[in-house]
Structure formats: structure tokens, C-alpha cells
Amino acid sequence: MIKLYRPTECSDCYDIEATLKEMVVAHKVVVVESDQTIDGLDPKVALPAIIDNGQTICGLAAIATYLEELERFVADWRRFQSDSCYIDDDGKPC
């Protein structure tokens, strides 16, 4: 599951959250207080940060790039995971 770690006050984080919601991907938002430490998150990591499958993405530019790539992945996944049946040239289902 994708986890977004964000500070309490972060106007850009609302956009990140909205993008994740619009994509309808499983994610969790963790609001981190300034003096709070989180298990699994290096205290040196600047917030906001996303952890996805063990990969840590931090910084607004890196997160924006990650979200663009995720949007493409999700779109492809949904396109090829439909309930459609494809027929090859010989009339056999694939």
C-alpha cells in the first residue's frame, strides 16, 4: 500500500492526496507532527514523502514525477485488466 507521510501544515499535500484519491489507488495518509518519529521512516527524510513497495520518494518534484508515472501505470493496468475477451485471428480466445 502507498503511504503518504505529510506534515500537519502542508498546502501541497492536499494536492498529492487529491491525486491519489482521483486515481482510486489504495493509500494511507499519515500526518506527522514536527517532533514525531515514525517506524519505517528515516528521521532524515524531508516531508512530504511517499513510501511505495519499500521505495521512498521525497521532495515535491520527485513526488510529482512519481505520481505521473503511477497515473500511467494505473491507466495501463485498468485498460488490460478489464472483463473483455480478446479473439485472435483464428477466432480463438486469448
Q: Which domains does the chain have, with CATH numbers?
A: 2-80 (3.40.30.10)
Q: What is the pLDDT of residue 94?
A: 56
Q: Cell numbers 514525477 correspond to what residue?
A: 65
Confidence of residue 39 (pLDDT cuts 50, 70, 90): confident
Q: What is the pLDDT of residue 83?
A: 64
DSSP code at position 35:
T
**In this structure, is the dihedral angle defined by the CA atoms of residues 83, 86, 92 and 94, taken in order, positive or negative?**
negative
What b/e string do you get for 61-75 counting C-beta neighbours within 10 Å, with b at 16 or more? eebeebbeebeeeee
Q: Please count the residues of the chain.
A: 94
